[in-house]
Amino acid sequence: MKIVVLGGDGFCGWPTSLHLSQQGHDVTIVDNLSRRAIDIELEVSSLTPIMPMGTRLRAWKEVSGKTIDFQLLDLAEDFEELRSLLRELRPDAIVHFGEQRAAPYSMRTPKAKRYTVDNNVRATHNVLAAVVAEGLDPAIVHLGTMGVYGYGWSGSAPIPEGYLSVKVPTPDGDLEREILHPANPGSVYHLTKTLDQLLFAFYAKNDGLRITDLHQGIVWGTQTPATSRDERLINRFDYDGDYGTVLNRFLMQAAIGHPLTVHGTGGQTRAFIHIRDTVRCVQMAIENPPAPGTRVSVFNQITETYRVVDLAKLVADLTGAEVAYLPNPRQEAEANDLVVTNDRFMALGREPTTLSEGLMEEVTEIAGKYRDRVDTSKIIARSVWRQGMETSPDLV
């Protein structure tokens, strides 16, 4: 298949691109390299030394014999270039990771809020409008987030995969309806993913586009079999307070002897998935698109759920690290339950990677190997949800 990976330079996009290329697909990466630009803005770097795109692609060619093309293109701005590219390639599938993806960054400043909305909404809409304008019918696979649902909204009912069955009272009795699960985003970033859902629903209905939305949990891990093949292919590892994800941050903190930073009570329950599974799931989504004329296909791309405090204890027990309870810069419930349905997702035949000592040690080893690259002043999360909220000073 000819596959375009939008945002193919990022934490999920890069290993997905390699995985799809490894599977024999003809992959073109489209990226504006904004994630690297934001590193410059935040004065922080990936813990792992990621290579420039040219080096990455040459290394991939060397180790695999396969060619991946790269187009430097801003999805939100360069609509005509995007159209030309699609016209030329006529891809069988488009994987869309091309969005600003950090909740804390999206709340950091007015400028970052605006960038997140302006970039993400326009990128998604431009992709849909370009596909329609060119009369194409690719499988479109988008990375959503579990955060569109919010937490603790539906009591003991598990969060469904996208669509919620409800009864609507009418004068003639209850009407059963399946609705898109009500949106309960917790940040501007999550908000943009709820906007994406409405864009997808409209273009599926009006234009018959075949779209899959993968509501992914928090990704952990760094490497996949493909990114491990050469050090120049190494995936990025974000440890800072804006882009770092919680479990990877704990493992990095343990590796450098920093207390594990639990912001708030740690009672937040979240869903998790390993990066190895992300890439396989995207592949399965591409191979199982919805039928034309049907609604958007939604999967909950998660493997297991944990309370943040339990994750911290797990890592502390494994490594002897201390746990530090810090002020929470987010506006969120102190604690929540989280029961999630992922039956459709599991039915695709995946054998999921669960949290295990061996895998966590792999991450800790990577963190240990590159520990000299850590800037400890970047560890504490300080992007506050509202002006004036308390944050912690550096711990070391």
List residues with catalytic annotation: 145, 189, 193
Nearer to a second copy, 130 or 321 (CB): 130
168 near a second copy, rule: CB under 8 A:
yes
| Minimum separation from the CB atom of position 76 to a second copy (A) | 9
Instruction: Tell me the two tokens of residue 385.
Output: 């949800």
| Minimum separation from the CB atom of position 129 to a second copy (A) | 5
As a whole number of angstroms, the distance between CA 211 and CA 232 comes to: 33
Instruction: Return the C-alpha torsion angle 55, 57, 60, 61, nearest 10.
Output: -110
Nearer to a second copy, 188 or 271 (CB): 188
Nearer to a second copy, 349 or 388 (CB): 388
394 near a second copy, rule: CB under 8 A:
no
The three-state DSSP-derived secondary structure of the chain is CEEEEECCCCCCHHHHHHHHHHCCCEEEEEECCHHHHHHHHHCCCCCCCCCCHHHHHHHHHHHHCCCCEEEECCCCCCHHHHHHHHHHHCCCEEEECCCCCCHHHHHHCHHHHHHHHHHHHHHHHHHHHHHHHCCCCCEEEEEEEHHHCCCCCCCCCCECCCEEEEEECCCCCCEEEEEECCCCCCCHHHHHHHHHHHHHHHHHHHHCCEEEEEEECEEECCCCCCHHHCHHHCCCCCCCCCCCCHHHHHHHHHHHCCCEEEECCCECEEEEEEHHHHHHHHHHHHHCCCCCCCCCEEEEECCEEEEHHHHHHHHHHHHCCCEEEECCCCCCCCECCCCECCHHHHHCCCCCCCCCHHHHHHHHHHHHHCHHHCCHHHCCCCCCCCCCCCCCCCCC
| Minimum separation from the CB atom of position 96 to a second copy (A) | 16
Select from 24, 54, 65, 169 the one that contacts a second copy (CB under 8 A).
169
| Minimum separation from the CB atom of position 271 to a second copy (A) | 19
As a whole number of angstroms, the distance between CA 212 and CA 200 comes to: 9
Select from 33, 129, 316, 335 the one that contacts a second copy (CB under 8 A).
129
* Count of residues of this chain found to bind a second copy when the rule CB under 8 A is applied: 52
Q: Which stretch binds a second copy (CB under 8 A): 30-38, 47-55, 185-193, 266-274?
A: 185-193
| Minimum separation from the CB atom of position 98 to a second copy (A) | 16
**Per-residue x/- marks for a second copy, 275-314, CB under 8 A?**
----------------------------------------
Q: Which stretch binds a second copy (CB under 8 A): 6-14, 26-34, 310-318, 384-392?
A: 384-392
244 near a second copy, rule: CB under 8 A:
no
170 near a second copy, rule: CB under 8 A:
yes
Nearer to a second copy, 110 or 393 (CB): 110
Nearer to a second copy, 274 or 330 (CB): 330
Instruction: Return the C-alpha torsion angle 252, 363, 300, 148, nearest 10.
Output: 20
390 near a second copy, rule: CB under 8 A:
no
Select from 37, 72, 198, 396 the one that contacts a second copy (CB under 8 A).
198
325 near a second copy, rule: CB under 8 A:
no
Cβ-in-10-Å burial (0-12, 13-18, 19+) of 260 comes to buried
Select from 88, 174, 287, 310 the one that contacts a second copy (CB under 8 A).
174
121 near a second copy, rule: CB under 8 A:
yes
Select from 7, 98, 185, 221 the one that contacts a second copy (CB under 8 A).
185
177 near a second copy, rule: CB under 8 A:
yes
Select from 30, 47, 130, 234 the one that contacts a second copy (CB under 8 A).
130
Nearer to a second copy, 157 or 396 (CB): 157
As a whole number of angstroms, the distance between CA 272 and CA 219 comes to: 6
Residues near a second copy (CB under 8 A) are 79, 83, 110, 113-114, 117-118, 121-122, 125-126, 129-130, 132-133, 135, 153-157, 164-172, 174-175, 177, 179-180, 182-183, 185, 188, 191, 194-195, 198-199, 201-202, 206-207, 331, 385-387
